[in-house]
Amino acid sequence: MAIHFLFLLSRQGKIRLNKWYQTISQKEKTKVMRELTTLILLRRPKMCNVLEYKDIKVVYRRYASLFFIVGCDSDDNELLSLEIIHRFVELMDKMYGNVCELDIIFGFEKAYHVLDELLLDGVVQESLKKEVLKKVAQQDELENMDEFENIMV
Amino acid sequence: MIPNHVLVVGPPHSGKLRIAQEIGEELESPTINQDSHSGLIFRKKLSTRYFSTNINILVDEYPGARADDVGSDSAKAKALEEWAGEFMSDEMTELRDALDGLIFCLDSNDKLEHLERCLEILESIRNVLTPEDAYAWPGFIVVVVNGLPEEDSCLAIEDLALVRGLECVNLKQSGYNEYNERLGLGRIKELFDSHEWSSTSNEVEEKPSTSNLYEQRKTVQIQSMTEPILAAEEKETNEEQPFELSEILQRLSLEKEKAAGMQNKEQKEAYVRKVIDEIIDYI
C-alpha cells in the first residue's frame, strides 16, 4: 500500500496542503493537481469516491468545505486509503481541537507534522493516534526549547 | 489597513441586499435607493482567531434602473450581457484586480434557458479573471440562488453550476448537510472566514486569558500595598476635610488669647512662630 500523493482541496478549488511521495517535477505536480481539481470539483456529492486517473487510482473524501485527495496504486485497496484519510482528519481534529479549514491554512506546519508522523514514504508508519500526537507534541517542545535558547543567547 | 472588496451582483429581487446586510455591518450611505441597488457599499470588519481585515461589499445590479415590468428573458439576458461587457472591458481592469470575491445572484423564478445563459456569461467572466487556469484566480466565485431547495429550477441551477466547476449556495437553506457542509448564508460566512484575503492584519483582538486576569489583579493588589500609608491618609484627610477659612480664623483668635497670657517674651515669640508654621502647613 503506497500512496503517491495526498492533497487538500477547498470547494473553491484552492490547494490547502499537498504532499508528494514520488519524485516528479513541480510542473508535473501542478498539472496533476489542476487536472484532479477539475475532475473532482465537477463530481456530485453522491458519486463514487474512487476514480481512475492515468495508471493510478484516486480516492477522495469530502469533509465540510475540504476534499482530501489521495493517489495510490491501481491494485491498492481503496478502502484503506479512505481509512488513512479519516485517520489523518481525526489526528488533526485532536491536534487543533475541532479542526477547520482556517486552522489548516494558518497552522499548516502542524498538519504537515501530523502527516509526516502518520505516513512515511507513502506508507503508514504509525497507526496509533496517541503515539502520533505524542511525537508531534515532543517535536513542538523541542522547537520551543530551540527558540528559547536562541532568545537566551 | 487597505480594505478588500467583494462584488455582489445580480438582477432585482435575487437576494443581493440580503447577503450584503447579513454579512456586512455598516452601510456607507444612509438610505437605500428603491430605483436600483447599484452602488451600495457595505463595510465589514472581519476578525478570526488568526487575522483581522476590513471588507467592502459592493452591490451592483443589472439592469441599471428598475422597472415595474422586469421584461422578457431576452431583455434580461441583454442587460446582463451589457453589464458583463462593461465589467470585462479594459476600463474595469483596476476594479477586477481589486476584487477578492464575486457573488453572483440568480433569480430562481427565471426560465432555465436564461439561467444557463447567465452561467455561461459568468464562466466567461471567470475566464477573463483567470485566462490560463479556471481555479488560478486568488479570489472566490459563488453562485447564489434564492428558491426552495426542492424546486426543480434550484436543483437544475446547482447542476449547471457544478458542471462548470462553480460553487452554488441556496439562500433558503441553513444548517449543515449530510457531509457536514454548511449551507446557505452560513456557507457564505464560512467562505469569508476561510478565504485568503489579499490584505489582512495579524493583530487579533485578544481576550484576556485567566492567567492574565490573575496577574492583572495581583499587580493592582501589589501596587496598593506599595503606596505609602501616611500619604494615603493625608490624601484622604484632605479630600474629606476641605480648606475652611473660618476654622483658621477661629484657631488664630484662640492662639492669640493663649499667647497673650504668656509672660516670657522669647517663649511667646517661639510659640507664635510654631503656630504660624503649623497654619501654613495646613493651608
Q: pLDDT means per 10 residues in chain B (283 residues)?
A: 90 86 77 74 90 92 68 78 90 90 87 87 88 80 82 79 88 86 91 89 63 64 58 51 73 84 82 85 76
B141 contacts A64? CB cut-off 8 A? no
Residues 6 or more apart whose CB falls under 8 angstroms from that of B263 comprise none
**Which three cell numbers, joined as nine digits, stand for A91?**
489526528
- At residue A4, the pLDDT reads 96
Q: Which of A11, A12, A101 to mutate to test the interface with B (most CBs of B within 10 A)?
A: A12
How far apart (Å, rounded) are the C-alpha atoms in residues A36 and A28?
A: 12
For residue B184, which of B44, B15, B25 has the smallest C-alpha distance? B15
Q: Chain B residue closest to A33 (CA)? A: B135
How far apart (Å, rounded) are the C-alpha atoms in residues B163 and A47?
A: 13
Distance from CA of B71 to the nearest CA of A (A): 33
- At residue B71, the pLDDT reads 64
Q: What angle do CA A24, B135, A17 make, to 5 degrees?
A: 50
Distance from CA of B181 to the nearest CA of A (A): 4
- At residue B220, the pLDDT reads 66
Residues of chain A in contact with residue B196, where contact means CB-CB under 8 angstroms, are 14, 105
- At residue B68, the pLDDT reads 55
Regions of chain A where pLDDT drops below 70? 1, 153
As for the ipTM of the complex, it is: 0.81
CB A92 within 8 A of CB A112: no
Query: Which B positions 130-189 lie with beta carbon below 8 A of chain A?
Result: 133-135, 140-141, 159, 162-163, 165, 167, 177, 179-182, 187
- The hierarchical CATH code for the domain B4-194 is 3.40.50.11960
Q: What angle do CA B132, B136, B140 make, to 5 degrees?
A: 130
CB environment B46-76: b (16+ within 10 A), e (fewer): beeeebbbbbbbbbbbbbeebeeebeeeeeb
Which residues are paired to B118 by β-bridges? Answer: none
Residues of chain B in contact with residue A63, where contact means CB-CB under 8 angstroms, are 179-180
Number of A–B residue contacts, CB under 8 Å: 56
Q: Looking up cell 483596476, which residue turns up?
A: B94
CB A20 within 8 A of CB A31: no
A45 contacts B179? CB cut-off 8 A? yes
Residues 6 or more apart whose CB falls under 8 angstroms from that of A11 comprise A41, A65, A66, A67, B167, B181
As a whole number, the mean pLDDT across chain A is 92
Distance from CA of A68 to the nearest CA of B (A): 13
User: Is residue A120 within a helix (H) or strand (E), and if so which, with residue range?
Assistant: strand A119-120
CATH 3.30.450.30 assigned to A3-152 = no
Residues of chain B in contact with residue A62, where contact means CB-CB under 8 angstroms, are 179, 181
Domain boundaries, chain B: 4-194, 213-282
How far apart (Å, rounded) are the C-alpha atoms in residues B96 and A125?
A: 47
CB B193 within 8 A of CB B48: yes
Domain boundaries, chain A: 3-152
How far apart (Å, rounded) are the C-alpha atoms in residues B150 and B179?
A: 18
- At residue B137, the pLDDT reads 86
Handedness of CA A133, A134, A139, A145 (dihedral sign): positive
- At residue A47, the pLDDT reads 92
